[in-house]
Structure formats: C-alpha cells, structure tokens
Structure 1
Amino acid sequence: MSVFHTRPALRWLVPTGTALAIIGGGAAVGTFASAAEPSLPERSAAQLLVDLQTARLDGLSGTVIKRADLGLPSLPGIGGQGSAELTSLISGTHTLRVWHAGPDKTRLALLGTLGETDVIRNGSDVWVWDSQQNEARHSTLGVGGGAVPKGRPDHLPSTPQEAAEQALAAIDPSTEVSVGRSATIAGRDAYELVLEPRDETSLVDQIKIAIDAGEHVPLRFQIIPQGTRTPAFEIAFTQVDFERPDPAQFAFNPPPGTKVTEEPLTADKPATSPASLERPTVVGTGWTSVLVAKVPQLAAVADADAQGGQADLVRSILGGLPKVSGDWGSGRLLKGKVFTALATDDGRVLIGAVTPERLYEVAQGNR
C-alpha cells in the first residue's frame, strides 16, 4: 500500500484521480536549477520513507513547473485546435498554481498564454473553469465526499506529491531504493530518494524524489531514462508556502457571462464499455510489466472498406508509425524514451516502460 494512502495529508491535490506518470513528449527538457548541495544530517532510505509516512500537511500553496520530453514522434492526422491543446498538455513546459487547505479544499490552476483552467473543490462543490472559453462545469459531491469527477486540464501528475505517490506505490523487490544527493528546491533544503529498476529491460534508469527536510513533503520528482542523465519527465515546486491558504482561494463565483453547466457525478458508478472491449490485463510485475488490451476496432480500421472520420484519423496516426513484424504477428510501434507501445494488426495494444523486444515477447505469448 502506498504511504500516501496511510497518510491522506500527502494526497492533498488529487481532484480527478491519477494516471500513468510515464506519458508525455515534445520540446527538450533541462533540469530545474538548484543551489549548491546543502549540508543535511544523514538519513537512510528507510528513514526517508518513514518521514513520508509521518508527514502532516495542513496547508500549502505554491507554483509548480512541469516539463516533459519523452521523445515522441510527430504523428500525422493530429491537427485542429482541440488536438493541438491536448498535444501541448503532454509536452514542453507548463506552469501550475496549487492551493491546499485540507482534503475538501483544493485548487489547481493550469496557466496558459491566453488564460487558465482551474479545478476547485470547496467542500461539496467542485468547479472546472476555463477562462479562455468562459465556461464552467459544476458538480456537487454527496454525503461522504465521493469521487471527484474528471476535469483536470490534463491527466498527468499535477504536483510532485501525485507523481511520488504513483512511484512509491510500485516499490517491490524489483526496485533498489537508495539516498541520492541533497538539494535546494524552491529555497528549501531537501533529501533525495532514488528508485532504480533491478531489471535492465526497463527503459527507466532512475526515479528521483526530492523530499523537504523539514515538512517531509515531495518538492521535486524526476524520471531519468536509460543512457542519459537528463529527465524525460520532471515536476517541481519553484515556490512553496506551507501556511494554510485563505478560504477565499476556494470560493468560486462564475464571472458575468460565464456559461455554467451542471454535471451530475457519475464517477462512483461502475464504468461501462462496449461489449467488444475486454478488460485490459497486466503481464509480468514490477518495472517490466506490460499492459495488454484487446481493441477489435483497430483491426476493423485496418480494413480498407472502413470509412469515416474516426477510422480515417486512426488509420492516419497508425500509418505514421514504423511497421514491425515477427513470430507474434505484425503491427505498428511507438517508441519513446521511457515507454514503448505496440498496436498489432489483429487488434491488440501493448504498452510498458520496456524495450520493444519485451513487448514482442508478451505479444507472442498473449495472442
């Protein structure tokens, strides 16, 4: 169980649940600048994990910078305003402002050049506001809180806490845990916890988590690919304040002229899907596990007779990827710096933080 589940204070900003940390692409990423390495009392990896478990976070506000460069290729068929916005969210550099004043008072603002998108929870009220479109969506949580609907601007981790939660939840015997170099992040001294896969089949070399020396809260999270020291994904505070924010930060009143849509919560209901889609399975454990999903629609799209906007778009995207084949069959391969995805011609999708050879091995055994 993740230490964040045993200490809810560390899960202070998860308005929409979490997703894979290893997603992204785009412009080159440099490491966040930090001051000279501070001199801190020695602490073991086990002690740092205990620090995370015992951390108590009553309030926080700050600025977070997120950068990604997973080496994804440019795919044809991706165009238009909506898709361009989606592409930008999983690449390059983004600035977010965050506020936390308890489990029922959280706010995240994704800042853009033309506006911002906010996700605000204030008690039972949840707002998602797009300033550029001047639109807001409102939901009301039932008794006991319940799940917050999906509405965050993107589904990547929004804070070092979220990213660290996903990484720490995966610690098992396949992971070597050690202490790295101390650092100064957002003007605060921090220890560094380092997670390394023991299996060289993984494309991930290290995951580094900088932990505040006083508050024991993650201040920076980095994913380092094999063969380089430059992070492929990095999220860090550039400014942080551990004082409880003013309640006014969580009170949202739609500006005049805002289009407001009331959305009933459906997050607690069982997810439904077409009968033709099977539940994905996970093959293997630890860093070299592979997610396998059967998507018959992909095989249908490969049929030259399949026409229509969606079929044409999928065919265009797949057509921009290199062809691969083997004893497992044939398909298209998407390879980034810390993950690989395989779409087979018979309607399977395989993805993992592994080499293509590992995907081919799994594809051969899961026809």
Structure 2
Amino acid sequence: MSLFGSRPALRWLVPSAAAVVVIGGGAAAGTIVASADPSLPARSAAQLLVDVQNAHVDGLSGTIVQTADLGLPALPGLTAGNTDLAKMVTGNNSARVWYAGQDRMRVAAQSLLGETDVIRNGRDVWLWRSKDNTATHLTLPRDGQDKPKALPSGVPSTPQEAADAALAAIDPTTQVSTTGAAEVAGRDAYELVLAPRDTASLLGQVRLAIDAETHIPLRVDVYAKDATTPAVRVAFQQISFTTPDPQQFVFNPPAGAKVDTAKPHADADADHAKAPLGTKPPAAEVKGHEPTVVGKGWTSVVVAKLPDGWQKQAGEKQGGAAMVGAVLDSLPKVSGTWGSGRLLSSALFSALLTDDGRVLIGAVAPERLYQVAAG
C-alpha cells in the first residue's frame, strides 16, 4: 500500500482531527545522519522521509495501543470515570487491526463497555457495537471514493495516521533529526525526530519510530516542551506482515442484532441537491462556520464559530449536552480587549471559548489565543 503521496491505506480507520490539533506543524527534512545501531545501515532524516513515503506492504495485522496524558485539569465528565472521552485524553486504548489491501480492512476497538468493529470488504462497510448489539451497513459507490473517514470516539489513532498528520505539511518551521535505532513490537526501527523551531509552541517534539525493513511507522510519541515522557503515544504492541485470512473481513450480524442501512454520501448529496429552494442547509454547511487557521506551522491557531443556539444546548440537563455544560462551567473565566469567555489549558494545547461563540485552539500559550481573538 502507498502510505504517503496519495492517502495512507489506514487513514480511514481513525479520526484525523485530533492528531492534527495535537501534532500540528510541518517538517523540513534535514541532513543529519542517523547514528543507527550497528545492525542497521545509517540513514539520514531526508532518506527516512523518502522511505516512509514509498512504503508498501500487501497485508498486516497487529495490536495498537494508545496512551495519553495531556496534562488537563480535572473536568467533570471529561477526565474522570471510564467514558471513552476520558480514556482518549487521560487513559489507555487498544485495538486490533487487519489490512489486506485498499478494499479489505478491519479494526476492532476494545473498551470497558464492549467492542466496536469497523470492517470494509470490497464495497461493503460494517460498523458493529457489541454494547447494544447494533450494526450499520453501508454500500460504497462503485468508484470507491466514498470511504469511511472516522471511527466513534474512543478508538485510538494508528501510528500511520499520527505520522501522516505530523508530516502532512513540509515547511521550514520544523527541525528534523534522527536519534538512531529503537525497538518497537520486537522489530528494529529508526527514530525520526520533528521539533518546532518556534519556541512559542507548547510542543517539544514528535518522535516517529520507522520499521527498518518495511518503513511502516510503528510508533509515534508526542512530547510537551521540556518534557521527558510523551504526552501521547500511539504504537504497535504486536505486528505481523502476513496477509490476513479473507474471513477476517466477512461480517455476519449476530443473532438479535439491530441492523440499519446507511446511505452513501453521494446519495445524500443528491438528496440535498433536490431539496426545495430556500431550504436552510445544516449549520456545519452555513457559510461563516468553516474553521480558519491563523499563523503557520506549530504556532498556528484554529478559529471556528459555533452554530447558533450552542449556549442553549450546553444548558440542557440531560445527555451529552449536560456533560458539555458541566465542563464549560468548570473552566476559569477570562476576559480582555477581545471580550470574555472560558479557557482550557494543558501541557500540549490551549483552547478559548468566547461568549460570542468563537473557539480558538492551538499548541500555544493562552496569551497567543487572546492576541488572535482580539484581531
């Protein structure tokens, strides 16, 4: 599979937004040569980047473990308990993955509440949750362009996904070097290090362990500035490059399962096009709600506008809205020439929610968010 250049074959397995927000920035390939273990030939940072871009495997399977400690303050409903969201930001997640080509993939994510599986077998895509024994079936268009983009919250990112986010934009904002050899999941690997040149970033470095034989990223570590342990780690705990048995991608709903059939996006777009004139599109499609990016590289800030009525929804007393409202109420109030709002700060990023409905997020100190909000 071609992991870079087009799109990584494992990209559809996980949400990319989280990885992009946490990692951010781009990279400029340096010329520092890896002081590799004697069993591995020396490779420069630029050579390792080319290796990853040209990586190809016919199949693999393995166990991925994701750990996170973002240094968040205690927030009700967010960093406490056994919720999927809590595990994403302060705990551990694991998943089994199988890959046998662009049209045969599977991930099985484990949690205390059960298992969530996403399976693609040709044009058929299944999403199954053991907690409530429900299954959703989607038939992809024949052109194969409509691929699943994300799994439910709580599913860990793959090392490939995290590496892709880190290397998505190559520019001079990043210093690239190597630290030599490492061992991940029992395999020899080179380690590539990305670090921001701008000291204003809260991120210290991102380390990618690249398999010496296949050039597949086996582990990605994200460090806060001046930290000695990673705030986020996504790594293979076990991996095999043997093509999985075709039966791994065949899904038969269990007895008693509730099965829903989902429309492909192409059909949904056609339905939207047929809507009567004057019909208001969903809030996410309304012009002016699209996020914008201020600045470049590791110190860039994402600015978004919340949909109308968000404050009323956050005030609801039940369900997810109640949890969001509780989190917002627990955040400290801040104000300045830009207005007033609530601030969330951690070791890796800061987030500002203004009372007029703007959200600003970046791997920067709060003062940078205030500056952008004022502008």
Confirm or deny a common fold (TM above 0.5): yes
Which of 289, 292, 297 matches 1:281?
292
Q: In the aligned structure 2, how far is the partner of 1:285 from the partner of 1:184?
A: 34
Q: In the aligned structure 2, how far is the partner of 1:150 from the partner of 1:55?
A: 21
Question: 272-281 vs 180-189, which deviates more?
Answer: 272-281
| Structure 2 residue aligned with 1:21 | 19
Give the paired residue count.
347
| Structure 2 residue aligned with 1:74 | 74
Check conservation: 2:20, 2:165, Cα contact below 8 A.
no
Check conservation: 1:146, 1:268, Cα contact below 8 A.
no
Change (3 A) 1:14 1:312: closer
Q: In the aligned structure 2, how far is the partner of 1:231 from the partner of 1:19?
A: 19
Deviations 1:277-317 (A, max 9, x none): 621211111111111112264785599xx776587655432
Deviations 1:236-270 (A, max 9, x none): 01111011111011011111111111111227866
Query: Structure 1 residue 345 and structure 2 residue 345: aligned?
Result: no
Q: In the aligned structure 2, how far is the partner of 1:256 from the partner of 1:21?
A: 37
| Structure 2 residue aligned with 1:28 | none
Change (3 A) 1:190 1:80: closer
Check conservation: 1:299, 1:345, Cα contact below 8 A.
no
| Structure 2 residue aligned with 1:295 | 306
Q: CA deviation at 1:206?
A: 0.1
| TM-score normalised by L of structure 1 | 0.85
Deviations 1:82-136 (A, max 9, x none): x933333443011110000000000001122453111100000000111222111
Deviations 1:295-347 (A, max 9, x none): 264785599xx776587655432220011122222211001111110011222
Change (3 A) 1:335 1:264: same
| TM-score normalised by L of structure 2 | 0.84
Check conservation: 2:94, 2:156, Cα contact below 8 A.
no
Check conservation: 2:141, 2:266, Cα contact below 8 A.
no
Q: CA deviation at 1:17?
A: 5.5
Q: In the aligned structure 2, how far is the partner of 1:265 from the partner of 1:124?
A: 11
| Structure 1 residue aligned with 2:116 | 117
Query: Structure 1 residue 359 and structure 2 residue 366: aligned?
Result: no
| Structure 1 residue aligned with 2:134 | 135
- Equivalent position SS for 2:95: strand
Equivalent positions of 1:168-179 (< 5 A) are: 168-179=167-178
Check conservation: 2:60, 2:98, Cα contact below 8 A.
yes
What letter corresponds to residue 251 of structure 1 in structure 2? Answer: V
Check conservation: 2:117, 2:127, Cα contact below 8 A.
yes
| Structure 2 residue aligned with 1:332 | 342
Change (3 A) 1:17 1:85: closer
Q: CA deviation at 1:13?
A: 4.8
Question: 62-71 vs 86-95, which deviates more?
Answer: 86-95
Query: Structure 1 residue 219 and structure 2 residue 218: aligned?
Result: yes
Q: In the aligned structure 1, how far is the partner of 2:245 from the partner of 2:316?
A: 54
Q: CA deviation at 1:152?
A: 1.5
- Equivalent position SS for 1:208: strand
Deviations 1:6-43 (A, max 9, x none): 255x433524662221679xxxxxxxxxxxx8432211
| Structure 2 residue aligned with 1:266 | 265
Q: In the aligned structure 1, how far is the partner of 2:224 from the partner of 2:136?
A: 38
Check conservation: 2:224, 2:231, Cα contact below 8 A.
yes
What is the aligned-residue identity percentage? 52
Change (3 A) 1:278 1:188: same
Q: In the aligned structure 2, how far is the partner of 1:312 from the partner of 1:240?
A: 40
Change (3 A) 1:332 1:142: same
> 5+ residue gaps in structure 1?
25-36
Q: In the aligned structure 1, how far is the partner of 2:46 from the partner of 2:102?
A: 27
What letter corresponds to residue 228 of structure 1 in structure 2? Answer: A
Check conservation: 1:324, 1:330, Cα contact below 8 A.
yes
Check conservation: 2:176, 2:192, Cα contact below 8 A.
yes
Equivalent positions of 1:150-169 (< 5 A) are: 152-154=151-153, 158-169=157-168
Q: CA deviation at 1:4?
A: 3.8
Question: 313-322 vs 256-265, which deviates more?
Answer: 313-322
| Structure 2 residue aligned with 1:47 | 47
| Structure 1 residue aligned with 2:239 | 240
> 5+ residue gaps in structure 2?
23-35, 273-280
Q: CA deviation at 1:229?
A: 1.3
Q: In the aligned structure 2, how far is the partner of 1:63 from the partner of 1:300?
A: 41
- Equivalent position SS for 1:220: strand
Q: CA deviation at 1:157?
A: 5.3
Deviations 1:159-192 (A, max 9, x none): 1001100110033110111112310101100001
Q: In the aligned structure 1, how far is the partner of 2:316 from the partner of 2:197?
A: 46
- Equivalent position SS for 1:224: strand
Change (3 A) 1:51 1:262: same
| Structure 1 residue aligned with 2:278 | none
Check conservation: 2:15, 2:150, Cα contact below 8 A.
no
| Structure 2 residue aligned with 1:255 | 254
